[in-house]
A and B are shown apart, each in its own frame.
Chain A
Amino acid sequence: MQQYFYDLADFVGVQLQSGEIYTTYLTGENSDFCRFSGGKVRQAGGVKQYSLSLRLINGQRHAQGSLSLSSHKDSDRQQIKDLLGILREQLAELPEDPYLLYATDVQSSEARRQNLLPDSREVVANIIERASGLDLVGIYAAGSIYRGFANSLGQRNWYESYPFNLDWSLYLQGDKAVKTSYAGFVWEDGAFAQKLADAKAQLAVLNLPPRTIKPGQYTVYLAPPALAEVTDMLSWNAFGLKAHRTKQTSLLKMVEAGVSMNSAVTMRENTAEGLAPDFSDSGYRRPAQVNLITNGHYQDSLVSPRSAKEYGVATNAAGDGESPQSLELAAGTIERSDVPQILGEGVYINNLWYLNYSDQSACRMTGLTRFASFWVENGEIKQPVNVMRFDESALRMLGDKLVGLTKERDMIMSAHTYERRSVNSAHLPGAVIKDFSFTL
């Protein structure tokens, strides 16, 4: 696919007229998906898709479009010619863009993983066999993922990866379930068997009579997947330069009112250790790290090329949404095995669900517990807890209410597949939080 993309890029270059520049970005995948319900197969199949985004620049004017590639040279070349025609017509009608910024330093790169994936149908058959008699629900997604960039200055970037992601839950009854995932690049049947055994062991605790707790304030532990829901909310709008300059960031009180988080909180966009490509769709190379929050204080923002031009600062190759793709929260000092004892009496929360802001300026979020959440008493896990709604400021969760973060961290590979399989990841510890507010 790499050579095919580069050949198309060369073709675009040949089509240019005087004064024109192009940039192009490819997203592609050849994916297998199998959806499980009740330990059986609900839907299974494959999706082969390649999308080419093309930007035509002439002076300070530019227009952008995308098309789906057919993988046949003549057909795709004709599609590109047609799209270039549309973009040229648009350029003639467009004003100059004061915020146009594009990469002019040629920084080519190539990152390619070896394909070590086994046949997906055999993996799925094996999962079904091992989960026989169990109520397993979820999805197996596997296959190639491609990203490519090219421009008329000669820059060429390529990213090729072959991950799998089994995102699944084991249900006991009703809404009582254990959620887990198994993701990586080399499928190991033994590793899956161990995860399945661990989940089955947790089901035994879920089988105990559930406890319904009253609204109020509790000491809680947010396991890394639960904390990831909180950081996903922050990723939505907290770290972008545009959100900061237009006062829409949920961290407004950190930058306008002197509020800080706990000094243990250090967050970075860590491209060097994440799974996403180190180049953006605009052709800029991403720095290894961007320090977002350091020792509880806001530090740097994610800056897209457009925001960089608008606000007169340097870009750090963020996408248009200025959201992290490879977020990292520094490890703390709590041993994960000590969490129940530190909680004493409280709630051990493995997963949160459906977060949203109830007061964005105050960074106050609401959401719910989901899957396996347990009541802890005398430092021991006692019984499952029925679903509870919380409403709490993330500034306090990670500020004066934060007891500590765990030493151990999970590398969470995103299972999102809207339009295409995600390459995002998060590297997070768990968090013990006191006076956490449950409301319903």
Chain B
Amino acid sequence: MQQAQFAHIKKLFQETVPTVDFASLRYHRDCDDLVAVRQDVLEPLRTNRDQGVMVTVHHRGGIGYGATSELTPSGLREAFARAVAWAERLGSVAVTDFSKIDMPHKRGEFKSPVREPWDGLSLRSKVEMLSDASRRLKRGSSIVDWSADLWHLRSDRLYLTNGGGEIYQSFDRLVPSLSVTANKGSETVTRTFGHMAVCRQQGFELLAETGFNTASEQLAEEALELLAAPNCPSAQMDLLLAPDQMVLQIHESIGHPLELDRILGDERNYAGTSFVTMDMFGRYQYGSPLLNVTFDPSRPEQAASYAFDDEGSPAELQYIIKDGILLRPLGGTISQARADYDGVASARADSWRRPAIDRMSNLNVEPGTVFFEDMIEGVERGIYMQTNCSWSIDDSRNKFQFGCERAQLIENGKLTKVVKKPNYRGISSNFWRSLKSVGHLSNMEVLGTPYCGKGEPNQAITVGHASPPCLFANVDVFGGE
């Protein structure tokens, strides 16, 4: 059925594409299903089906787009006419001469490597699995709220260009969640299964690989333990971040500042600018020599792997930071042309409603050589933080403050007391230069987030971040009230 719909869209494109310098069509058919059990009661199911097209033209120097869910000849003609009208009217005041940009016209395909698909398990079985996970979260009267969810996202896409480009991509993602909240008087703590960071292009095999089915009891015990724990102390100390906090640290203080559209100034009214400038690439010491960061769309199961971005550019593994030195920005074909600098294939759109903008995709910290136990042993006075729960960073992506669900003090090479409401703050560049140890491949976790927001109009997209635990020196750490 999907092939028939692709053929229908291709025929529509051929019938309606105008004579312009460049034209593309991006068709999405998206399924969004949520099954959730809260306090052992099934929540209303979510079964969303969404399809539409985005057409884009480069014409007389300008750029224009039209998005519609009217998948008929008249619907596409109207969308193209709208796109052409915008390009014609404002081509003379565009940020660049879009007609001169050499857009790709590639052919290819991609499919998520799902072994145990969403539809392979009945609704009843999903509900039973979640009900069981939910029941095991309720461990005592202090637990005041608890839930278990499975969120499935499938997106089938077709990208066509007026130069013969034809790309099929099918993305299948699963986001399992557990949450447990404990309370005593005016104090409440929550523990989650990675705070939505467990997000991959996989089927139900993800649950076994990440321990979802057996995580409930431990999360509940940890919530109760946190409720009785003292606040995180305020001090400067070594900070060891678990992979489910590294996700956020990479995302906010490496990913966003390296987005080329920020550096070019497009995001200054909303998501912000960047402390990074074009002259830093190739020479700026972003982090300690231990820091190696890759744009890696080639790890099939990671949340934002793909063969082509939404400008039709082929995606391949690239080092963004090598041995601590900043090498290249995260920007697609159009931004690269505007900046006259090589980037990566990272122009993406969250749906057929929105045009492609520069994104992160998979941005990973490459593993080092130190095992987790050895990292702990090497710390005299420090703290180990797990699972992001709070994030804030300035519009230049410099001054940050992040909070975690759980922390444990490290004293004389050993993990000791559990503390609650751990926060830390710093400045991006100083922070990455204080990186003193990078965890081993065996401690690396492939994570991500389904919610990365930016763009005008706004878009929320899935990105992937894989990382081992990482140790930072002398960080400003503090707790709650």
Contacts and interface: CB of A to CB of B under 8 A. Distances in A.
Given A41-B94, A418-B460, A248 B188 contact: yes
A125 interface: yes
Contacts of A34: 86, 90
B342 interface: no
B123 interface: yes
A68 B425 contact: no
Interface stretch (B203-211, B279-287, B394-402): B394-402
Contacts of B187: 361
A45 B395 contact: no
B266 A37 contact: yes
Nearest to A365: B392
A205 B42 CA distance: 57
B83 interface: yes
Choose among B90, B183, B268, B453 the residue with the greatest number of A CB atoms under 10 Å from its CB: B268
Interface in A247-264: 247-248, 252-253, 256-257
A439 B479 CA distance: 14
Contacts of A409: none
Contact of B264 (A37, A83, A93, A98): A37
Contact of A368 (B78, B122, B124, B399): B399
A196 interface: no
Contacts of A65: 45-49
B45 A90 contact: yes
B243 interface: no
B199 interface: no
A367 B78 CA distance: 44
B144 A247 contact: yes
B458 A97 contact: no
Interface string A72-98: 100100010001001100100111011
Interface of A: 31, 33-38, 40-51, 55, 62-72, 75, 79, 83, 86-87, 90, 93-95, 97-99, 121, 124-125, 128, 135, 137-139, 141, 167-169, 171, 174-175, 177, 179, 246-248, 252-253, 256-257, 306, 353-362, 364, 366-368, 370, 387, 389, 391, 393, 416-419, 421, 439-440
A99 B40 CA distance: 12
Nearest to A360: B188
Contact of B95 (A38, A364, A366, A419): A38
24 contacts: A40-B94, A41-B93, A42-B63, A42-B95, A49-B67, A65-B49, A66-B47, A70-B75, A71-B69, A71-B75, A93-B124, A93-B127, A94-B42, A94-B127, A125-B90, A139-B270, A171-B268, A179-B269, A356-B390, A356-B392, A358-B480, A387-B399, A417-B458, A419-B351
Contacts of A67: 48-50
B457 A33 contact: yes
B120 interface: no
A141 B269 CA distance: 14
Given A47-B353, A252-B188, A358-B403, A70 B394 contact: no
Contact of A417 (B67, B127, B421, B456): B456
Contact of B69 (A62, A70, A167, A358): A70
B181 A246 contact: yes
Contact of A43 (B65, B78, B458): B65
A41 B95 contact: yes
B48 A66 contact: yes
Contacts of B272: 353
Nearest to B124: A93
Contacts of B340: none
Contacts of B481: 359, 362, 364, 393
B262 to A, nearest CB: 11
Interface in B41-98: 41-42, 44-52, 56, 62-72, 75, 78-79, 82-83, 85-87, 89-90, 93-95
B52 A68 contact: yes
Nearest to A258: B186
Interface of B: 41-42, 44-52, 56, 62-72, 75, 78-79, 82-83, 85-87, 89-90, 93-95, 122-124, 127, 144-145, 181, 183, 185-190, 264-266, 268-270, 272-273, 351, 353-355, 390-396, 398-399, 401, 403, 421, 423, 425, 427, 453, 456-460, 479-481
Q: Does more than half of chain B's interface fall in helix, strand or loop, or is it mixed?
A: mixed
Contacts of A171: 265, 268
Contacts of A31: 457
A175 B351 CA distance: 30
The 3 closest A-B pairs by CB, nearest first: A45-B65, A359-B480, A65-B47
A418 to B, nearest CB: 4
Contacts of B188: 247-248, 252, 360-361
A360 B42 CA distance: 27
Given A362-B481, A367-B392, A97 B42 contact: yes
Contacts of A50: 69
B49 A359 contact: no
Contacts of B122: 93
A51 B64 contact: no
Given A252-B186, A361-B480, A389-B399, A125 B89 contact: yes
A358 B481 CA distance: 9
Nearest to B52: A68
Contact of A128 (B90, B124, B127, B398): B90
Contact of B70 (A48, A177, A421): A48
A46 B80 CA distance: 10
Given A47-B353, A355-B392, A124 B401 contact: no
B394 A124 contact: no
Contacts of B453: 418
Contacts of A168: 269
A187 to B, nearest CB: 17
Contact of A167 (B42, B95, B269, B460): B269
A417 B351 CA distance: 13
A378 B399 CA distance: 29
B394 A387 contact: yes
A64 B457 contact: no
A139 B456 contact: yes
B45 A63 contact: yes
Contacts of B78: 48
A361 to B, nearest CB: 5
Nearest to B402: A356
B45 A64 contact: yes
Given A138-B269, A387-B399, A389-B399, A71 B70 contact: yes
A38 B181 CA distance: 47
B70 A72 contact: yes
A297 B118 CA distance: 48
Given A43-B355, A71-B75, A361-B480, A440 B41 contact: no
A70 B5 CA distance: 14
A71 to B, nearest CB: 5
A439 to B, nearest CB: 7
